[in-house]
């Protein structure tokens, strides 16, 4: 099945240039993979070389790139935000092609304990486990092998990918003469509406109060969220992020892959953490923050690392020289 360009534009908008509105679009594809019957998009101006070489039947571009798109010679649609247009197009494509949504109900192999509440429109997939007192909201989907612990609450339209664990015990122990004594984790997890949770991600229950994931948060695969963490609305984090207990993340923040946030820190709204950055202090102002040592050949890296060890002594020497000059 296909969609005509005119059908796409009628729903999603955009101005068609150099193209036939009746063109049949057979698929959505990347610039490199697209063929003459495919629709693609240019979201990053740095990829204009790929756009010029693309065989795509039609490409969505921003107004700033329309002259470059005209040089390619094929059809293009001028839109405000090509990446957002692509996202909307995938939704239109799924709807038009009647790709069957996940059916509501509880799979025969799933375990839903007595006292759990599952909305009739929710879907509990194969081998999932929903413990007593848990609540699964309307149109939420637990795909497969998902665990939701006791007294954890998922809002509406929450999507949880395979293997995720929501409401496992947080990492809490007290030391008694060299032995670790477990602190029972008595809180739960509260997850808002329209949240997505990736495969094998773990969200720990709170020690006393609940761990909180607000509306619209997007969490990638293999993310660890410690007990009593709070994540604000519409924040997003990529794979292998780790957030230690009791950290508070603001609204509309992003954390790049393998970023780490230490416990009990506070991150303001609209803070963006680069990949592989370790956040060791609270961040009070919005902006982009980066903190990793650039890659280098091993010999150069070892020399730079050795130099870093002596920076403190060098600083003291500079201070002493400045003081001498001042006194002299």
Residues known to be catalytic:
227
Q: In which residue are the tokens 């038009």 written?
A: 96
Question: Could you count the other beta carbons within 10 Å of the beta carbon of residue 259?
Answer: 26
- One DSSP character per residue, 216-253 reads T-EE-TT-EE-TT-EE-TT-EE-TT-EE-TT-EE-TT-
What are 291's two structure tokens? 């903190």
Q: For the chain, what's the residue count?
A: 328
Give me the numbers of helices (H) and strands (E) for the chain, helices first please: 6, 36
Residue 314, classed as helix, strand or coil, is helix
| Beta strands 179-182; 173-176: pairing state | antiparallel
Q: How far apart are CA 29 and CA 273, in angstroms?
A: 30
Lookup: tokens for 316: 């003291």
The candidate with the shortest Cα–Cα distance to 164, out of 222, 241, 208, 118, is 222
Residue 51: is it exposed, middle or buried by C-beta count within 10 angstroms (0-12/13-18/19+)? Answer: buried
What is the C-alpha to C-alpha distance for residues 292 and 312, in angstroms, rounded to an integer? Answer: 19
CA angle (82, 83, 87) in 5-degree steps: 115
Q: Helices 82-96 & 5-12, crossing angle to 10 degrees?
A: 110
Q: How far apart are CA 150 and CA 133, in angstroms?
A: 5
């Amino acid at each position: 099945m296909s969609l005509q360009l005119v059908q796409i534009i009628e729903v999603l908008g955009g101005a068609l240039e150099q193209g036939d509105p009746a063109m049949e679009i057979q698929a959505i594809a990347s610039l490199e993979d697209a063929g003459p019957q495919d629709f693609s998009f240019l979201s990053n101006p740095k990829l204009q070389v790929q756009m010029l070489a693309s065989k795509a039947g039609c490409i969505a571009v921003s107004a700033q790139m329309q002259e470059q798109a005209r040089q390619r010679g094929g059809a293009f649609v001028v839109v405000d935000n090509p990446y957002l247009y692509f996202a909307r197009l995938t939704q239109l494509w799924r709807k038009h092609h009647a790709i069957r949504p996940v059916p509501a109900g509880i799979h025969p192999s799933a375990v839903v304990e007595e006292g759990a509440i599952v909305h009739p429109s929710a879907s509990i997939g194969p081998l999932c486990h929903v413990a007593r007192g848990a609540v699964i909201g309307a149109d939420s989907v637990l795909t497969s092998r998902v665990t939701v612990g006791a007294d954890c609450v998922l809002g509406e339209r929450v999507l949880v990918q395979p293997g995720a664990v929501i409401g496992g015990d947080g990492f809490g122990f007290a030391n008694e003469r060299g032995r670790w004594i477990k602190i029972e984790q008595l809180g739960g997890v509260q997850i808002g509406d329209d949240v997505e949770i990736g495969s094998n991600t773990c969200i720990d229950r709170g020690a006393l109060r609940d761990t909180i994931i607000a509306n619209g948060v997007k969490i990638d695969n293999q993310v660890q969220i410690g007990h009593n963490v709070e994540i604000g609305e519409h924040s997003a984090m990529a794979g292998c992020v780790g957030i230690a207990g009791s950290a508070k993340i603001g609204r509309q923040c992003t954390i790049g892959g393998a970023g780490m946030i230490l416990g009990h820190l506070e991150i303001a709204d609209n803070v963006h953490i680069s990949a592989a950055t370790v956040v060791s202090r609270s961040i009070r102002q919005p902006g982009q923050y980066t903190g990793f040592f650039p890659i280098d050949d091993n010999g150069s890296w070892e020399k730079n690392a050795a130099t870093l060890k002596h920076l403190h002594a060098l600083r003291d020497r500079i201070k002493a020289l400045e003081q001498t000059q001042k006194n002299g």
